[in-house]
Amino acid sequence: MNRIKTFISQETWSPYIAGILLGLVGLFTVLLANALLGASGAFESLAGLLGKKIAPSLFNNVYWGVEGSRTMPVIRPEITWGVILLVGIFFGGTLGALSSGKFKLRFNDDAQWKRIFGPQPWKRWVIGFVGAIIVEYGAGIAGGCTSGLAISGGMLFVPAAFLFMAGFMITGIITAMIIYRKRY
């Protein structure tokens, strides 16, 4: 019992152990819910839900569904199963941090980040925000993110998953090279 406690309270596990847990979660998602794990689609659903309230004409398109049309939209602008999953992911991450006693409100305390970009928290916020827009835009085009396409697609042997992984590794490496330059 004590050994389980110590194990759970570790800040990080071996990525293989954490990966096995994620693999089982992915497996049980198919088995119990006949669904796939994903995160980016949930953000799009929420964006569509908001957008249809704020600017209905702008959001009245093929992507989020045309009013009165019977064709299924690419993204359903409602509280989908994936949105609930996303809420769970948030609390799961919080629980993980709490379990290791590392839970803390922080704005910018990553030493490596500070070395590269400087200590100002606003830079972290701006770069994080812009990066998130790029990530979500890319995920929208590709049809999923690292979880919804790379992992969920990968475990079903879908070619799209491996194309996507190749894609983000290529530009990820180039971006890191540009950011880190000599320190790469």
Partner 1 sequence: MTISSITLALILGIAFGFSLNKAGLTTYRNIANQFRFTDMTILKYMMTAIVVAMIGLYIFRGLGWITFPTVPATYIVGNLVGGLIFGVGMAGAGY
User: CA-to-CA distance for 150 and 19, rounded, in angstroms?
Assistant: 14
Does residue 155 contact residue 147 with C-beta atoms inside 8 Å?
no
Task: Give the count of residues interacting with partner 1 (CB under 8 A).
Answer: 100
Report phi then psi at 23, rounded to 5.
-60, -45
CB of 57 to partner 1, least distance (A): 26
Q: What is the DSSP string of 66-81?
A: -TT--SPPSS--S--H
Contacts of partner 1 in 35-54 (CB under 8 A): 35-37
Q: Which of 50, 55, 62, 163 binds partner 1 (CB under 8 A)?
A: 163
Q: Is residue 4 a contact residue for partner 1 (CB under 8 A)?
A: no
Q: Between residues 60 and 135, which has the closer beta carbon with respect to partner 1?
A: 135
Stretch that binds partner 1, among 43-51, 60-68, 171-179 (CB under 8 A): 171-179
Side chain identity, residue 180: Y
Q: Which of 6, 155, 181, 182 binds partner 1 (CB under 8 A)?
A: 155
User: CA-to-CA distance for 184 and 182, rounded, in angstroms?
Assistant: 5
Q: Between residues 56 and 93, which has the closer beta carbon with respect to partner 1?
A: 93
Q: In this structure, is the dihedral angle defined by the CA atoms of residues 111, 112, 113 and 114, taken in order, positive or negative? A: positive
Stretch that binds partner 1, among 51-59, 63-71, 136-144 (CB under 8 A): 136-144
Side chain identity, residue 8: I
- The two three-digit tokens of residue 152, written as one number: 């969920």
Q: Between residues 2 and 112, which has the closer beta carbon with respect to partner 1?
A: 112
Q: Is residue 1 a contact residue for partner 1 (CB under 8 A)?
A: no
Contacts of partner 1 in 55-74 (CB under 8 A): none
Q: Between residues 50 and 137, which has the closer beta carbon with respect to partner 1?
A: 137
Contacts of partner 1 in 7-36 (CB under 8 A): 10-13, 15-36
Q: Is residue 107 a contact residue for partner 1 (CB under 8 A)?
A: no
Q: Residue 113 to residues 68, 93, 118, 179: CA-CA distances in angstroms?
A: 49, 21, 7, 11
Side chain identity, residue 42: A
